[in-house]
A and B are shown apart, each in its own frame.
Chain A
Amino acid sequence: MKTVRICDVTKDYGSVKAVRGASFELGQGELVALIGHNGAGKTTLMKLMLGLIRPSSGSIEVLGDNPAAGEFAGRLQLGYLPENVSFDAALTARETQAFYARLKREPVAKALDLLDTVGLGAASRRRVGTYSKGMRQRLGLAQALIGRPRVLLLDEPTTGLDPELRQTFYDVIARLAAEGATVLLSSHALTELEERAGRVIIMNRGVKVADGTIDELRRLARLPTRIRLKVSGLAPHELPAWAPTDAICRRLNGHLVEIDAAPERKIELLHRATASGNSVEDVDVVPPTLDELYAHFLRQSEQAS
């Protein structure tokens, strides 16, 4: 079941093209990371999905609504956390949360429980005007989770959260995704997303440059996997005899040998290393990280344009 459909969407602000011909679909239960530089079009895409702005061309469908035409019935089941979320300073967190719960026709008591989930607890009786950035972000998360959202759009959700709350946050959204919600989150914290996002969409200057699971992106990118071996009995700059001549090998800090292996040669190289009988004490295999993949696809799209 697809919950979000973006079809060949372009959005211009005067001469600036914020999004150019983007197309993708998001399905139930997907946890999707939307990554890209500032100004790559991440926030614009989310605003388009909410009908806050209208596309210059192309069509959008969110939970059966066309947001550009002002349809909003589906938003009962949608949660949104804007970047730099702000609230009315005069009201307390509890009053704010109750207001948003009423707009979504959800029981107020359950919505108030979410304030404890995000760790606002006692502070929830204070006015939002007295809150720090991190506390506002917590309230922002709490309001996005009201009800049982089928689509969650989270714009930089973990900025300003401490590590403990980040963990809680990822647990909560992973549970929602497991229950069938679509979660789209944009972030700069790529290492955090690596283990969690089932799918990654990379944007560059308004263009979608990559879309797939991390494994698919690794296959596409063909970036080498790093094999690190701890070998004893070698001189500081000596390479072991079994080292391949057709792959880049280097020595790291005295006793490590690092080999950049093409993805399909990993196993072969490991065999050679262990079969040589040489004293290999330890092995680390480091696949390309999301950071490296991101940099790769960005370079590729810059070269193409």
Chain B
Amino acid sequence: MNILIIAAKEIHQAIRNRWVLAATLLLAGLALSLTFLGSAPTGNVGVRTLDVVIVSLSSLTIFLVPLIALLISHDAIVGEMERGTMLLLLSYPVARSQVLFGKFLGHLAVLAFATCLGYGLAVAALAVTGGQIDSDSLLAFVAMIGSSVLLGATFVAIGYLVSALVRDRGTAAGVCIGLWLLLVLIYDMALLGVLALDQGRNISATALNAMLLSNPTDAYRLINLTGFANVSTFAGMAGLAQTTSLTVPVLLAALLCWTLVPLGLAALAFSRREL
């Protein structure tokens, strides 16, 4: 009950602060432009447009959704402490874990709303303008939206962990930007570099799988680019899709772990903090 009360307040605040509007407009704008501009190089003949959209949109999600998630979450604990609002809230009959899970639920709802509406608009626009959409593609698209929300949940949880550990808001923002750069950009470049240097001599398939699973954005990428046969042909990952042993359930489990473990640690750190 307390969790829902706090979640409702977070949603209310996010609407009031125009967070919901900004995130929805950003995602919708980019999804729409990718949908119509992105199909220009492939043309429209004989190509299943929605599959192309999934490939480009999921690549965009990897950059954008973690960024939005970290932006709304890094402030959640340390920011409220600095503003002094946490002092009053914790004098009420609520457990600290309820405060954290309530915020999580609220922030996740905001993110899910923005993603579903933003990306949903793109499909709707495609359908209206007469693009071919079959049920396989639609299923893959729904899966992409779902996994995007899960990726958002992961980064909201990571943001909370940072927020529960650091001493001031500035540090929280800095650490979150660093984590974003590391997980979204640097990790993959480093991985590619290592693989290119190694030429498949020392790094086994198992080791590669482990390395892919230890970054939530890679797990997300694999779900969307290799999880569905119709999509992986366009992603240029059909080969990888046939050889990798990482199935969609395994990848989903990895993302779920990447959400629950940081969230649990954040709850632990928060419960020990003095203010």
Taking Cβ atoms with an 8 Å cutoff, the residues of A that contact B are 47, 50-54, 70, 72-76, 78, 80, 82, 84-88, 90-91, 95, 99-100, 102-104, 140, 143, 153
Contacts and interface: CB of A to CB of B under 8 A. Distances in A.
Nearest to A155: B87
Interface stretch (B92-100, B110-118, B194-202): B92-100
* Among B17, B83, B96, B274, residue most surrounded by chain A Cβ atoms (within 10 Å): B274
B86 to A, nearest CB: 9
B84 A84 contact: yes
Contacts of B87: 52, 82
Nearest to A54: B274
B88 A85 contact: yes
A75 B92 CA distance: 6
Given A52-B90, A103-B94, A85 B84 contact: yes
B257 interface: no
A90 to B, nearest CB: 4
Contacts, number: 65
B271 interface: yes
Contacts of A70: 95-96, 271
Contacts of A82: 84, 87-88, 91
A91 B16 contact: yes
B275 A52 contact: yes
For the residues of B in contact with A, the DSSP-based class is: helix
Interface of B: 2, 5, 9, 12-13, 16-17, 83-85, 87-88, 90-96, 271, 274-275
A80 B93 CA distance: 12
B88 A90 contact: no
Q: Give 3 nearest A-B pairs by CB, closest first.
A: A80-B91, A86-B84, A75-B93
A90 B91 contact: no
Best-buried of A73, A82, A86, A91 by chain B (most CB within 10 Å): A86
Contacts of B271: 70
Contacts of A80: 88, 91
10 contacts: A47-B275, A52-B91, A70-B95, A72-B93, A86-B85, A90-B13, A91-B12, A91-B13, A91-B16, A103-B5
B93 A73 contact: yes
Given A53-B274, A87-B85, A104 B90 contact: no
A75 B88 CA distance: 12
